[in-house]
Amino acid sequence: MSSRALRAPSVLSASQRDVLRSHLKSAFNGYLRHRPLVERALTAGFVLYCVGTTYLSLTGRGGKRESGRESGRRGRAKDAKRTKASIDDPLFHTRLKKLLRIVIPSVRSRESAMLALHSAFLLGRTGLSLYVAELDGRIVSSLVTAQPHLFLMNLVRWLLVAVPATYTNSMLEYLQSELALAYRTRLTKYALGMYLDPPPPGSEDSTGDSKGEQLFYKIANLDDRIKNADQYLTVDIQQFSTKLAEIYSNIAKPVLDVILYNYQLSRNVGAEGLVILTILVQTSAGLLRAITPPFGAYAAHEATLEGELRFTHSRLLESAEEVALYHGEEFEKNVIERGYFALVKHINRVIRIRVWHGMAEEGVIKWLWGALGLGICAIPVFGGSALGMKAGDLGSRTEGFVTNRRLLLSSSDAFGRVMYSYKELAELAGYTSRVSDLLEAMEDVKEGKYQKKLVSSSSVEDNAKMLQGRGKVIESEEIVFDKVPIISPNGDVLVKSMSFNVEKGKHLLVVGPNGCGKSSMFRILGGLWPVYGGTVHKPPARDFTYIPQRPYLCTGTLRDQIIYPDSHAEMLARGVKDEDLLADLDVVDMGHIVEREGGWDAVREWRDALSGGDKQRVAMARLFYHKPKYAILDECTSAVTLEIEKAMYDHATALGITLMTVSHRPSLWKYHSMVLQYDGMGGYVFTELDAEKRLALQEEKQELEHRLLEVPKLRARLEELKAVKAERERLREA
C-alpha cells in the first residue's frame, strides 16, 4: 500500500477546509459578539472563587470535618500533651471561634467598631492603589509622548494623593496596634477572671469543689497540663492577640486587592488571560502549599521551650539561698544551658527550613508569576486587534502597559501576601493552641476534672476507686471529718479513713512526723484539695484563716500587710482605724515598726525587709484584725520567743477564735483541749488533751531520758571504783 493511500483518510479536501474555516470564524465572531457577557461571567466566577477559596481555607472546610467538640474531646483524651497546631485541624477552627467570641463579644462592642473602621481604611487604601496605578500609566505616557504640561499636572496629582495615602497607612498601623491591645485586654480579663477571681457566696457545691475558688492553686498543684501559667497568661496571650490583629490585615486587604486589581485587569486585558493566569497561579500555589512545613507546630513548640527556660530561671531565683549553700552553681548552669541550647537548636532548625522554603516561595511568587504577568500584559499589544481591542497610538499603548503592569505587580504582591499568610495562620494556630490549652484546663479544673500523673508509692489499682470517688462537704458551725481519706495530689493515701470533730471553742493540737498528712488535712478544710470520700462538715471559707510557718507578705503598704486581703476602703467600712491596727501590733510587740518603716503608707519588699520572727508577728496581727471563727496555725510561732508566743495565744483565745495548731512545742499544750496525733504509718489517735497530765508525763519522760543518758557515766564510775577497791585489797595482801 502506498504512503499516499495511508495519508488519504486524514487529509481534508479544499471544500471541507473552507467549511471548517467558516465554522471556526463564525464561532469566533459569535464569541466576540458575546464577549462582554462572557467576561462578566468569568470575572464573577473569579471573584466567587477567590472568596470561596479564602473562606474554606480560613474555616477549615476544605478537608474532612468533624465536630469540634468531639475532636477536642478525642484529642485531649487521646494525648493531653499533644499540641493541636495545624490550621487544617477542625479543632483549631473551633478553638479560634471560641477565642473570637471572647475578644469580640458583640457587634456593638468597641472592638467591632474598630474592626469596621479598620476595614474602611483597608478599602480606601485599595481604591488609592488603583488610582495610583492609573496615574503611573499617565505619567509614563506623558513622558513617552513628550507632553511637559500633562506630565507636570500628573506629578501634582501624584503629590496630592500622597496626603490621603500617608494618613491611611498611618491609621491602619494605629488601628492594628489598638486592635491587638484590645484583644489582649479582653482575653487577659477573661483568663484572669477564671484564674484569680473568688467565687460568689454559696457557690461551693456538695463535693467541696467551689466554682473557680483558688483556681490558681489547683491548676498548679492538682493538674499537670499547665506547667508555666505565667507564660500562658502574659507572653502567649500577647502573641496570640498581636498575630490575630495582623492576620486580618494580611488576609482581608490582599484578598480585596486580588479581586479589585484582577477585575480592573480583566477590563484592560480581557478575562481570558485572567482565567489562564489564575489556573497557572493556583496550580503553582497548590504545589507550594504542599511543601510548606508545619510552622504552627514549630511556633507552639518554641513557646513551650521559652516557657521552660523562663521557669528554670525563676526556680533558681526562688531557691537562690539553697543553691548557694550547696554550691550548686555549676549544676544549675548546666540545667539552664540545656534548656537554652534546646531552644537554640529548635530555632536554628526552623531558620534553616525557612531559608529553603523562602527560596521556593520567592521563586514561584516573584519570578514565575512575574513572567506570567508580563505575558498577560502583552495581550493588548500583540493580540488586541484579534479580540476587538483598539490598537491605539504609542502613548496609549505605553500607558496601558504601565497601568496593567502596576496592577499586575500589585495583584501578584497581594496574592503573595495571601500565600505568606498561610505561615502566619500556622503561627496563629500555635498560639491558639497554647491559649486554648490554658482556658480548657481552667474550665476542667473549675468543674473538678483533674489530670494528674500519679507517682504514689502504692499501686494505682489499689487506690483507683478511692481517687475516682467524691465525698460530700456540708456547711456547718463545727468541723467534722466522717470517714474522710487523706490523699495527696500525686495519689499517695496518707490516711485511708479519718474521723474527728472540733467544736467551737475546743482548740485542737495536731502532732505527728513530717509527711504524715497534717497540712493535707488543712488543705481539705480550706477547699484546696478535693474530698475523695466520706463527709466533711465545716464552716464557710470566710470563717477560716490559715497562718503558715512562713507567712505570705503581699506587695503594698505596711497597712496592707495587716489587713490582707482587704483593701483600705474595706477596712474603713468595717469601722477599723489605724489605731486599732497599732493595738494589734502592740500585742505582739511590733508597734515600733510603724515609725521605723516610715508610717502605714510605707511601701517595701516586705519579705526582704522583715526578719522571720517579724513576719510571724505581722501574720498574727493579721489574724487579730480578721477575727475569724477558726484559725489554722501551722508552726507559725517557731521564730518568736516564748513570751511573744504566750501573748499571741492569750489574745487569740480572748477574741474567741478556735485554734487548730500544728506544733511540737510543749508550751502550747495548755491552750488546747483536744489532740490529733498521726503515727506516720497511716494511723492516728484523736482524744482529749489533759495538758497538766501530759506535761507531767513529758517531764517524767525527760527525767528518765536524762537518767538514761547518765547510765554510761555511772557504769564508767563503777568500773573505776571497782579498780580502786581491787588495788587496795592487793596492797593489803602485800
Beta carbons of 653 and 623 less than 8 angstroms apart: no
User: Is the distance from CB of 132 to CB of 164 less than 8 angstroms?
Assistant: no
What pLDDT does residue 231 have?
A: 84
Residue 81 is placed in which grid cell? 500533651
Q: What number of other Cβ atoms are within 10 A of residue 58's Cβ?
A: 17
Same fold, 38-443 and 460-689: no
d(CA 488, CA 570): 36
What region does 630 belong to: left with phi over 0, alpha with psi -120 to 50, or beta?
A: beta
Strand partners, 253: none
**Residue 666's closest CA among 700, 617, 699?**
699
Q: How far apart are CA 483 and CA 582, in angstroms?
A: 44
Where are the extended beta strands (E) located within 622-666?
Answer: 630-634, 658-662
Q: Which residue has the cell 471544500?
A: 15
Neighbours of 662 (CB within 10 A): 21
Q: Which whole-number Å values give the CA distances from 559 to 228, 551, 566, 580, 617, in the listed order?
A: 31, 15, 10, 11, 14
User: Whole-angstrom Cα distance, residue 278 to residue 275?
Assistant: 5
- Listed residue (317, 386, 296) closest to 91, CA to CA: 296
Q: What region, left, alpha or beta, does residue 206 occupy, with left being phi > 0 and alpha being psi -120 to 50 degrees?
A: alpha
Q: How is 664-689 classified by DSSP, letter by letter?
A: --GGGGGG-SEEEEE-SSS-EEEEE-
C-alpha cell at 547: 497562718
Contact 447, 212 (CB under 8 A): no
Question: Which class for 689: exposed (0-12), middle (13-18), buried (19 or more C-beta within 10 A)?
Answer: buried
User: Rounded to whole angstroms, how far apart are CA atoms 288 and 276?
Assistant: 18
Q: What is the pLDDT of residue 620?
A: 93
According to the model, what pLDDT value does residue 692 have?
62
Q: How many CB atoms lie within 10 A of CB 601?
A: 13
Which stretches of the chain score pLDDT less than 70? Answer: 1-12, 16-19, 21, 23-87, 197-213, 262, 265-275, 277, 370, 373, 376-401, 404, 408, 411-412, 416, 419-420, 452-469, 691-704, 707, 734
In tens, the pLDDT along 509-555 reads: 998 888 787 888 888 888 788 888 889 999 887 888 888 888 888 88
Element (DSSP H or E) covering residue 494: strand 493-502
Alpha-carbon span 151 to 138, nearest angstrom: 8
pLDDT digits (tens, 9 = 90+) for 374-397: 776 666 666 555 444 555 555 566
Angle CA(621)–CA(623)–CA(624) in degrees, nearest 5?
65
pTM of the predicted model as reported, rounded to 2 decimal places: 0.67
CA angle (541, 545, 546) in 5-degree steps: 115
Q: How many CB atoms lie within 10 A of CB 142?
A: 21
Helices 90-103 and 237-269: crossing angle, nearest 10°?
100
Please name the residue that has the C-alpha cell 469596621. 116
**Residue 109 CB contacts under 8 Å (≥ 6 apart), including other chains:** none
CA distance linking residue 99 with residue 392, whole number of Å: 56
What letter would DSSP give residue 109? S
CA distances from 721 to 58, 713, 715, 716, 727 (A): 100, 12, 10, 9, 10
Which overall architecture, per CATH, does domain 460-689 show? 3-Layer(aba) Sandwich (3.40)
Q: Which fold has domain 38-443?
A: ABC transporter transmembrane region fold (1.20.1560)
Write out the three cell numbers for 209: 469543689
**Which residue shows C-alpha cell 516610715?**
598
- Do residues 204 and 527 touch, judged by C-beta distance below 8 A? yes
Q: Scanning the structure block, which residue is given the C-alpha cell 499517695?
A: 492
535-538 and 508-511 beta bridge pairing: unpaired
The owner of cell 473557680 is 212
Closest listed residue to residue 615, CA positions, set 627, 625, 605, 601: 605
Please report how many Cα atoms fall inside a 13 Å half-sphere around the Cα of residue 642, on the Cβ side: 5
The residue extents of the domains of the chain are: 1-33, 38-443, 460-689
Beta bridge partners of 632: 546, 660
Q: In what helix (H) or strand (E) does residue 481 lie, and over which residues does it extend?
A: strand 479-487
